[in-house]
Structure formats: structure tokens, C-alpha cells
Amino acid sequence: MLHWGSDLGPLGEAGLAGLAAHTALPPSPGNPDDPNHPGNWNIPPAVGLLAEHGAGWQGYPGLLGHRPGGTDWSPLLTVDSAELTVPADAPDPVELNDRAGATVTVHPAPAGAPRALRVVASDRVAALGLTIDLELTDSGLLRTRATVRNDHDEQPYTLDGLGLTLPVPTEATELFDLTGRWTHERSPQRQPFNVGSWVRETRRGRPGHDAPLLLALGTRDFGFRHGEIWALHLAWSGNHRLWADRLPTGQAVFGGGELPMPGEITLIPGADYTSPWLYASHSDHGFDGLSARFHDQLRARPHHPTKPRPVVLNTWEAVYFDHDLTKLKELADRGAEVGVERYVLDDGWFLGRRHDGAGLGDWYVDETVWPDGLHPLVDHVRGLGMEFGLWVEPEMINPNSRLAEAHPEWILATGGRLPGELRGQQVLDLTHPEAYAYVHERLDALLTEYDISYLKWDHNRELGDAGHSPDGAAAVRGQTLAVYRLLDQLRAAHPGLEIESCSGGGARVDLGILEHTDRVWGSDCIDALERQQINRWTMALLPPELVGSHVGSPRSHTTGRTHDLSFRAGTALFGHFGIEWDITRATDEERAELAGWVAQYKRLRGLLHGGRMVRADHQDPALWVHGVVARDQAEAVFALVAVGAPETSPHARVRLPGLDPDASYRLDVLPPGTESPGLWRGRPRWLTEEGAGGLRGSVLERVGLQIPAVHPEQAVLFHLTRE
């Protein structure tokens, strides 16, 4: 691959051959001779989409595997053919440079279809076939995947890894990704991209609370609105590997793929394996440009949610396991009064589930708590005009359950012993046909009996020692594919059903699971201060409508912090808005203000969930600035969030990016919450009771606004409309 990144425009008469000649590396001692050009000594090997050890590449190889006895471990593939699919409405012509002597064909595609390239290669000595697919979407995302096939007549091939790489230029000197833990997901980390290999692996059976989410390489000090960035995301919900290599030659690549457990992928003769899609995004305008491509791609999916994202009330932090029908009905009543549109009954409704150490797997309504089933609550909720949702955790099983007692062989284990328990849980083996059929039947029966429009699908423990009975062979890949299949079957059988991917909070956030679900739960922590960071970096990949973000109680369940309602609700507003609070105990004043926030969300959700997300690079690390600007730039909403004490008082001027530079805007501070005690020190001169008008977009973005100091852990929200 000669280039991917900013549009180069016409290449001139020299074309691709000229680009290749101008970017070719000169000889460098210690490198192999060029096999295609005798006499060219010490030429650094060009790395392809599949980095090959056999071609002299000294970085991380793309294809790892072997046959019995350790043979065929270093394949060298030759391109046999290539097929290029180009839409009829493509704005520029296609140039082909076939230097491999392979057969190349070009096919027309329907208007709007992505440009696609398929390359077919083989190693006849190792008896392996390879197909690589690349697509360039309308949003500007590049995605690629590979299929390897065992062409041997007799011997199996053990695949230890298949990952694709993309080149990055020498200007990419910084490496960025994310880490974290439970209730503190999506914590950014940045480091120099030096010579050597950098690898992030997850062996948790899911991406994990510490998942990198995005692996980004960029120019020095790149930010939200400046710098050039190249980034990868692997659309896979199981074990995975991301890596970056910089060689002493100056060559730099990064790549990713599934991380198979030992022996997990063995290809019998004629069998093949296809890797997950590896998504790549480029921006020469910082993270905002990068995120815009992912957001546009997700919003263009046929199954992307199209109806307004309903206001959710979830019962977990209101009642926990104390399921009392009278209390739950009262909670529904208060929810309807403030404008809730979807009511979700969380954990504690099924057989034996009075605490978190029992009952998982016994997916029957507990008659000792619900003698008439869930019908009285479902009917009450539906009668109030709200949808009804239900919490489930189908992939897990408690040893203290009837199911575990009846079928211990349905528990994932390596053979001869059970894994150590986590939260009193083990993992149900969905690769076992009978276990899969049981879970499918139970969930299908619940969705058939009750008017359930939403499932909160949890996944609280990692897949440690995840082996399939009876031999204990590794089963993470099979488990992941079984979950995808189960989700698809339930959605197909129950049209209109929406499913949330919750995994102990935000431990399964990826584009793989979102092909089968409708939103993610960003974190089990809804402390507004923590959620500012969690939401900020989750939405680097996902648009706001796919990230559940709720208003918690005044005192946070997970951190013990207390925050004003204006800060809690102003944080939740920039997501799929919901409530996680016992509002039966809230004061009349609190419920009235909450109703105002719900109404504000309903007025703004078309903008929030369809506009362009923007974030400013403010010089004071204590003040974060983010917003959403309408596609036509006629409207915008911004939040100024004080995550700590300001370095200066008042703050440095605040720039509002993404507006039409030639338009004038009217600016209003958004109620409710504008009169919250201690919101800020004084009022700015430019703001009157009627708002502020005549503010040009160019001035707002390049000069900015002078505002008073916002007190720590407070947020001020602005609404701008074009005059």
C-alpha cells in the first residue's frame, strides 16, 4: 500500500508508478536483496497488508501457524488475481498498477456502494490460500479483512493468528490508546512511538474494561481539532491483538486481529477462517475528524436506530434486589410524570435471585416474589404509555442454581477443573448445542409471553479458562460467535426488539457487538465527573445515540461523590439519556427540575443524535468544551464542563468550533440548571436576559467567548441558533 490518508488529488502523468518510485526506500545495510530486481542489494522489504516473515519483514508477522511437526510456519504468498469494484458514480477514474503480473478485473457496482478490492494469493508449497478484502466507505473509513484456506489434501493447519497491517508515515511519532478498569473505563494514555514493537492483547474473552478501543498514531501533540492521526479499531467481541511496529529502517505499521487461544483454530483440509473487520480511519483535523468518519459509518448502517431514542428509567440503583410490586409501580408512576418513555426492570426478577450469588441460568420468573408473573408490572408500565424492558445475563451461570446442578457439563472449563469463580459466577457454554437451545428457548418464551421491547443484556465476568466440555478445548471464539447468533435469532423472531450491550458496564464496547445490538452501557459508574471522561472517549468511536448515559442519585452509588442535579443531567444529556435513581424519594423540586431536563433532552435529541460532535482543545485542563453542531450548521449545543479548579479566574476565553464562519448566531444559556447555586462567578457582559445575538461563527471559533470561572464539577450549557 503506497498511501492512505489525506486525498492526494490527481497523481499526474507519473501515476501510481511515480508515487511508488518517489517513496521507495534506498538500500540499507543488513537488509535482504530485492528478489524482483537482481542486483538491488540491501533493500528494506516492503510490508504488505499481510506482513510476511518469509519476505524478510522483521516486524510482527501477519500470518502465524503451522502444520503437525511445525512445518509450513513461514509462508510466502504470491498474488494470483485481483478484483476491483468501483461504483458507477465514482468521482475520479481508477488507475491500476499491476506489478505482480496477476490477473486484474474491474467490475461496476451500484451507485453508493463502497469501493472494494479483493486480492487472491496462494503459497503452493505450504498449500495455503489467502483472500484479502478492502473497502473504502462513503464516510471515508477503510476496512479490511482476510480469509486463509487450508489447501492441503491431508494435513490440518493450526492457525495461531491472522492480522492485517497498514503503513503509517514517519510523521506519526506519538501513540495513543485507552485503558481503564471497572467504573473507570476509557482512560487515555499517550506515549512516543519509538523503534520497536508495541502490543496490546486482551485474553478476557471480551474487549475488557481496559480495552484500547482505538489504537491511534499521530503527529506530535495531536488534539481534538489539530494534528494528523491514523487509527484502527477491531470489530470483534472476543480476544484480540493490536500492535504497532517501527523498524530501524524507519518503516512503521500498525495492525490488528483476533487472538486465538492455543489450538482454537485448526483448519482441516479445505476449511477456511475469516478474520474480523479491521476498521481504519484517518484525519488531518485531529480526533474530531477521526470520530466523524466512524459516526457517519455507523449512522449509515441499515439497522442503525432511527426512531427518537427514548428516555430510559432503569430500576437497579433505585431498588437493587428488593422487588416490591407496590414500590416498582410507584417508581413507574413518578417516571411517567417526569417524561420517561422506557421502563427497565433490572436484576432480581428470576428464580432464586435475592442476591448476586444465586439464580443465574434459571430464567423463570420467581413466583415467590412475582406470584402473578411480571404481568401486573408490565401492564402497569404499558398503561402509562411506556415501553417495558428487562435485564438478563444469558451467558452466565451461578453454581448456586438449578441449572448448574442439573447440567454441570454446560459450564466452560479447561477439563478436570472449574475456573475460579468471579462474583460467584461461571460462564455458560453456548457452544454446547443443548445449552444454547435452553437459553434461546427461555429468552424467546419471555419475549413471547410479555410485551418486552428492550433487553439489557449483561455480561459480568471474564472468560477465564474458557474451554468446551468434555475435553476442555479453547472455546472463546466459538462462544463469541454463538452470542452473535443468539442475538440475531432473538431480534429476527421479535421485530422491534432492542438490545443493550452491557458487560459489567463498558467491557464489551466494539463494532462487532454493535452489529447485533442497539446501544452500549458506557460504564456501571454514573458519577457525572467520571462519566465526563468515559463518555468523551467512548464517543470518540460511537455517536451519542449509541451510548447509554443516565442521571444518578445525588450521591453516587460507585464513588460516594455528591453533585448538583444540573451537573448530573447536563452530563447525561450528551448520550442516550436515562435515569438511574429512586425518584420516589426525590423532592418535588428535584422531580420538577428533572422533568425540565427530560423535556430539554426531547427537544434536542434530534440535534444531539444527528449532528456533528465537536470538542475544543482548551488550554486549561480543568475546563472541557464539547458540543454537537447540526449538519447544516444552523443550530448547536455546547457544554462547558469544569472537571477541576480553574488555573485562572476567570477562565481563558472559550472557542466554540464547527460553526458556519459566515453566519451570525444567537446564544442562550440552557435551562434548567441556570440558577444552580455556585454554577459560576458572575454573569458575562455579553449575556442579557434575552440572550446574546449577532455573534459570528468565525469570531466564536477563532476568538471565542470570555466567561466567568465555572465552579468545579459544574457544567454550563449553551444553545446557538443561526440568525
Number of structural domains in the chain:
3
3 belongs to a structural domain: no
Q: Are 184 and 261 within one domain?
A: yes
DSSP annotation of 222 reads -
397 belongs to a structural domain: yes
- DSSP run (H or E) holding 136: strand 128-136
Cell of 708: 466567568
pLDDT at 707: 85
Q: What mean pLDDT is predicted for residues 136-162? A: 97
Paired residues of 278 in beta bridges: 144, 234
pLDDT averaged over every residue in the chain: 93
Q: Are 647 and 526 within one domain?
A: no
pLDDT at 38: 65
- Its domain, for residue 676, covers 613-722
568 CB-side CA count, 13 A: 23
Task: Quickly state the pLDDT bin for 20 (edges 50, 70, 90).
Answer: confident
Paired residues of 280 in beta bridges: 142, 232
Q: Are 575 and 644 within one domain?
A: no
As a dihedral over the C-alpha atoms of residue 202, residue 206, residue 211, residue 214, rounded to 10 degrees, the angle is 100
Asked about 444 being catalytic, the answer comes back as no
Cell of 16: 501510481
Task: Quickly state the pLDDT bin for 29 (edges 50, 70, 90).
Answer: confident
Residue 437 has pLDDT above 70, yes or no: yes
627 belongs to a structural domain: yes
pLDDT at 99: 54
Q: What mean pLDDT is predicted for residues 240-254? A: 95
DSSP annotation of 663 reads S
Q: What mean pLDDT is predicted for residues 65-82? A: 95
Q: Are 624 and 601 within one domain?
A: no
Q: Are 245 and 186 in contact (CB under 8 A)?
A: no
**Total H helices, total E strands in the chain:** 12, 35
Paired residues of 551 in beta bridges: 579
Cell of 103: 490477473
Q: Identify which has the larger pLDDT, 111 or 319.
A: 319
Domain boundary among 249, 270, 299: 299
pLDDT at 702: 94
- Write phi, then psi, for 337 (nearest 5 degrees): -65, -35
Task: Quickly state the pLDDT bin for 100 (edges 50, 70, 90).
Answer: low
Q: Are 550 and 670 within one domain?
A: no
335 belongs to a structural domain: yes
Domain boundary among 575, 605, 635: 605
Residue 97 has pLDDT above 60, yes or no: no
**Rounded Cα gap, residues 595 and 397, in angstroms:** 39
Q: What mean pLDDT is predicted for residues 47-70? A: 93
Cell of 69: 511437526
Q: Are 351 and 276 within one domain?
A: no
Q: Are 584 and 621 within one domain?
A: no
pLDDT at 688: 66
Residue 198 has pLDDT above 70, yes or no: yes
Task: Quickly state the pLDDT bin for 676 (edges 50, 70, 90).
Answer: low
**CATH number, domain containing residue 622:** 2.60.40.1180
| pLDDT tens sequence across 552-573 | 999 999 999 999 999 999 999 9
482 belongs to a structural domain: yes
pLDDT at 432: 96
pLDDT at 36: 65
**Rounded Cα gap, residues 90 and 84, in angstroms:** 13
How many Cβ atoms from other residues are within 10 Å of residue 95's Cβ?
10
| pLDDT tens sequence across 291-316 | 999 999 999 999 999 999 999 999 99
pLDDT at 103: 82
pLDDT at 110: 80
**Rounded Cα gap, residues 711 and 135, in angstroms:** 48
2 belongs to a structural domain: no
| pLDDT tens sequence across 101-138 | 678 888 888 877 888 999 999 999 999 999 999 999 98
**Rounded Cα gap, residues 695 and 688, in angstroms:** 13
> To the nearest whole percent, how much of the chain has pLDDT over 90?
81
pLDDT at 91: 60
pLDDT at 283: 97
From the candidates 524, 527, 564, 660, give the one annotated as an active-site residue: 524
Residue 93 has pLDDT above 60, yes or no: no
Q: What mean pLDDT is predicted for residues 418-436? A: 95
**Rounded Cα gap, residues 546 and 544, in angstroms:** 5
| pLDDT tens sequence across 617-654 | 999 999 999 999 999 999 999 999 999 998 888 888 99
Q: Are 345 and 211 within one domain?
A: no
**CATH number, domain containing residue 277:** 2.70.98.60
Nearest to 598 by CA among 313, 267, 403, 216: 313
Residue 10 has pLDDT above 90, yes or no: no
Residue 675 has pLDDT above 80, yes or no: no
Domain boundary among 605, 625, 656: 605
**Rounded Cα gap, residues 204 and 701, in angstroms:** 43
Q: Are 336 and 367 within one domain?
A: yes
Least confident of 93-107, 196-210, 666-680: 93-107
Q: Are 88 and 230 within one domain?
A: yes
4 belongs to a structural domain: no
- For 23-60, the three-class secondary structure string (H helix, E strand, C coil) is HCCCCCCCCCCCCCCCCCCCCCCCCCCCCCHHHCCCCC
**CATH number, domain containing residue 478:** 3.20.20.70
Q: What mean pLDDT is predicted for residues 252-259? A: 97
Q: Are 275 and 381 within one domain?
A: no
- Write phi, then psi, for 234 (nearest 5 degrees): -95, 120
- In the numeric block, the cell 478498569 is attached to 181
Residue 597 has pLDDT above 70, yes or no: yes
Q: Are 470 and 337 within one domain?
A: yes
175 belongs to a structural domain: yes
Asked about 458 being catalytic, the answer comes back as yes
Q: How many degrees, rounded to 5, is the angle at CA 398 between CA 424 and CA 396? A: 100
Cell of 513: 457487538
Radius of gyration of the chain (CA): 27
The distance from CA 198 to its chain's CA centroid, rounded to whole angstroms, is 21
Task: Quickly state the pLDDT bin for 518 (edges 50, 70, 90).
Answer: very high
Least confident of 17-26, 341-350, 436-445: 17-26
pLDDT at 381: 98
**Rounded Cα gap, residues 137 and 300, in angstroms:** 10
**Rounded Cα gap, residues 32 and 44, in angstroms:** 7
From the candidates 34, 210, 288, 458, give the one annotated as an active-site residue: 458
Q: Identify which has the larger pLDDT, 580 or 105.
A: 580
Task: Quickly state the pLDDT bin for 190 (edges 50, 70, 90).
Answer: very high
Paired residues of 26 in beta bridges: none
